[in-house]
Amino acid sequence: MTLLSAEVTYHGVGQGLFISGEITSNERSFKWVYDCGSSSKSGKLLLERKIKTLFKQRNEPNVIDMLVISHFDRDHINGCESLLKKFKVNKVILPYIPLWKRILLALEQKIGITGKYINFYINPTKYINEISENKEIHIEYIDSQLVDFNEEETPPTNESQYIPPHENESDLFNSPYIKLRKNGGVLIEKDIIKWEFVFYNDEAMKGHLDKTAIEEIKKLCIEINNDKKQ
């Protein structure tokens, strides 16, 4: 007889978000975290305490099977660095956002060009790989173009969810471990029976600037790319 249990914990960390979950099927488990951050000083202290005790009830290695970063607000990501350093994170899921929009989001978050997290906005792949305890970590971006699934399609597989990466983002997709996943697609975990995670990248989260400001940001992105090539 197969037993399946799922547990979700909302961790109180002030202004921010930190959710963890574990799905267990007989002797196998799948651990995941959805966002990890807080904006206040007291919240950040709480965040670090929660991270230290995360999944400690089990006598198992410090492994997180999947870390999901829902969007790029600072109060959702500033604890992810600790998770990546203290745990072996096997996979990171985050939305694909073009470079110019990532720069816009950094400006909206008041992150300066020399700020602690600016490298995450410029190149999330490089940032994650540099700080991750797991040097073979898999990173999957969710595309912003919504796929129209119809009822007559064959059941999806993990491989059928991947699409070719964007040509102008070669720095992001620079290894076989980095992939672009369909918007609205599913991630299937067969080791814990057949559990599906459905991801959606909301194109509406693009910021609110006029066309002139957007063009200036795009010029800045070109300069950043040129600097990286030199």
Per-residue pLDDT of the chain (230 residues; tens, 9 = 90+): 567 788 888 888 777 788 899 888 877 888 999 988 887 777 788 888 888 888 876 656 689 999 999 888 877 788 888 899 999 999 999 999 888 888 888 888 888 777 778 889 999 999 999 999 898 999 999 988 765 555 445 666 777 788 888 878 888 999 999 999 888 766 766 666 667 787 777 655 444 556 676 677 677 767 766 665 55
Residue among 68, 17, 20, 19 nearest 40 (CA): 17
DSSP string for residues in 78-126 = TTHHHHHHHSEE-EEEEE---HHHHHHHHHHTT--TTSTTHHHHH-HHH
Torsion of CA 8, 13, 16, 22, to 10 degrees: -20
pTM of the model: 0.81
Domain with 112 in it: 5-228
Number of folded domains in the chain? 1
